[in-house]
Amino acid sequence: MINKYSSTVNNFINKYGDEIINKLVIIRVPITEIINMIIKPFNKIPYDKYFHLSLIINDKFILEKNEIINFARYNKVFIHNGQYFPPDYSKIQHYIIKDIPQNKTIKQFLYNT
């Protein structure tokens, strides 16, 4: 099962995969205006803004899907009074997932999704 991921993700799973998930936060950040302007003429879906989605796990790991799945330690989120603020992203949106199954590991989460 581990072979369906890149070597970077496999190494991450080997190192941190047995950690229990106790917090999940979905982060939505607008893409830069220049990329938005490049994408817009080629996309037939009528959206005004495009966003990059990430999943923050236990306030220290980030899961992203770009060309491939990326999973790494994440140190760009500042937490103040329960709010998430990455540097230079004043328009960030976040959603804290409240119904996390108990005792699920990062490895189980990845293998079951």
Average pLDDT over residues 41-53: 70
pLDDT given at position 4: 76
How far the first Cα of the chain sits from its last, in Å, is 12
Helix/strand/coil for 23: coil
> CB of 24 within 8 A of CB of 100?
yes
Full domain range(s) for residue 68: 2-111
Residue 33 — φ and ψ, nearest 5°? -60, -35
Q: Which amino acid is at 35?
A: I
> Based on the structure, what is the number of domains in the chain?
1
pLDDT given at position 80: 44
pLDDT given at position 64: 80
Report pLDDT digits (tens) over 48-100: 667 778 889 998 888 887 666 666 666 665 554 455 555 555 677 788 898 99
